[in-house]
Amino acid sequence: MKLSDQKWQEHVADRLGVVAGFQDTLEQIDREISRQAEEIDSWIRPHFRSLLASRGKRLRPLLVVLSAGVSGGIRADHVALAVVVEMIHVATLVHDDILDGAAIRRGEPTATSRWGNEVSVLLGDTLFAHALRICAKLPAGSVERVATAVCTVCSGEILQTQRRFDWSLREEDYFEIIERKTGELFRMPCEVSAWLNGVPEEAGRALGRYGMALGIAYQIYDDCLDLLGKEELTGKTLGTDWGGGKPTLPILYLLASRSGPEREELIDAFHRGRFASREDLLPLLAENGVLPKTRSKVEAILSCARNELAGFSPGEPRRAMEEVIDLLGNQVDRLIEGMSAGRRAENMLPGGA
């Protein structure tokens, strides 16, 4: 069965939880996340309640749980780590939506559109600081690992901001950016989870590489959604990457499909705003092998993720980790096949970005 974007967005963790028997732990994590709002100063408690109640995919907490499962078992520290990781993720989204000027996230108005940029910056800061407060109760070394990952995420965002509208960005620079801004917040939960179980360093690193590969593939999927997805299905504002001049992978592959004066002409058209809305780009993206090339890249990355699991015993947690790979691969196929089969309207945002 192929899940719609919406279902995948909403139920990936639930579905895997049922399959692999981690439902109780995931529900415990959810309750803990919601409870954190009660620990916050009363005048921002409603903001926190609403931010923490908005149900995302809970992918990163799931990675904490599954990595714990394959590396020796799930303990209370893993539940706390999962809460920390999700709160940090929510903090990054609050800030990201300010940077991208996004109006909708997780099917609700974003923090910035509800409370303005000033309050939202500070809400993101509070979420992050509160997450570190919880993290400080974990074994020594946890805060350093978590905070270092957040520094890497921020450096990726800075690099990305500095390269906006730079259509000469090389593919390797693009990967450097997404490894940092997205991959790191998938890598760290896996590696720290294994570290909490005291596994040999190489096993933790293998899980970290699994998380990194998954995060990179996820970001490429997200890049494709920005151009091809439907806002009402993804529950977030789309077209902000394109509108904000972020050179995403499909755009880089489109540029790579041309050379010499043709390429210069296309870059010039980008700069002159010839493709003001993302719909204008769709005919170009549908040609030139851009989307199949993007899909092949995702497949290769997901196959690296799968290889990293080879050394772990083939029980339920590992099967669930493989299922996460399959779910993501299917979503990318579905999005890109829809475009290639000419079902463009299905994937298009009515009325522009």
Site membership for ligand FPP, residue 182 (CB under 6 A): yes
- The dihedrals phi and psi of 108, each to the nearest 5 degrees, come to -125, 160
**Nearest CB to ligand FPP, comparing residues 102 and 348:** 102
Write each residue from 137 to 176 as x if it is in contact with ligand FPP (CB under 6 A), else as -, in one continuous string.
Answer: -------------x--xx--x-------------------
Site membership for Mg ion, residue 223 (CB under 5 A): no
Q: Which two tokens mark 163?
A: 């390269």
Q: Interhelix angle for 23-35 vs 45-53, to 10°?
A: 160
Segment contacting Mg ion by CB under 5 A, of 99-107, 169-177, 287-295, 332-340: 99-107
- The dihedrals phi and psi of 164, each to the nearest 5 degrees, come to -60, 140
Site membership for ligand FPP, residue 32 (CB under 6 A): no
Q: How far lies 29's CA from each of 34, 134, 177, in Å?
A: 9, 13, 30
State the alpha helices, DSSP H only, in the chain.
5-20, 23-35, 45-53, 59-70, 76-100, 111-135, 142-162, 171-178, 184-196, 201-228, 231-234, 240-243, 249-256, 260-271, 278-286, 290-307, 316-340, 344-347
157 binds, among Mg ion, ligand FPP, none (CB under 5 to 8 A by kind): ligand FPP
Number of residues that bind ligand FPP (CB under 6 A): 19
Near ligand FPP in 101-130, by CB under 6 A: 102, 124, 128
Contact pick of 30, 96, 226, 231 for Mg ion (by CB under 5 A): 96
Residue written as tokens 């043709």? 262
Near ligand FPP in 43-102, by CB under 6 A: 91-92, 95-96, 99-100, 102
154 binds, among Mg ion, ligand FPP, none (CB under 5 to 8 A by kind): ligand FPP
Site membership for ligand FPP, residue 252 (CB under 6 A): no
For the bound state, the minimum distance from the C-beta of residue 99 to ligand FPP, rounded and expressed in Å, comes to 6
For the bound state, the minimum distance from the C-beta of residue 86 to Mg ion, rounded and expressed in Å, comes to 17
Site membership for ligand FPP, residue 348 (CB under 6 A): no
**Nearest CB to ligand FPP, comparing residues 138 and 185:** 185
- The dihedrals phi and psi of 109, each to the nearest 5 degrees, come to -60, 140
Straight-line distance from the first to the last Cα atom of the chain, in angstroms, rounded to the nearest whole number: 30
Site membership for ligand FPP, residue 281 (CB under 6 A): no
Q: Interhelix angle for 142-162 vs 184-196, to 10°?
A: 170
Site membership for Mg ion, residue 308 (CB under 5 A): no
> Among residues 73, 75, 119, 82, which one has the least CA distance to residue 97?
119
Name the residue type at position 102. Answer: A
222 binds, among ligand FPP, Mg ion, none (CB under 5 to 8 A by kind): ligand FPP
Site residues for ligand FPP per CB under 6 A: 91-92, 95-96, 99-100, 102, 124, 128, 150, 153-154, 157, 181-182, 222, 226, 236, 241
Site residues for Mg ion per CB under 5 A: 96, 100
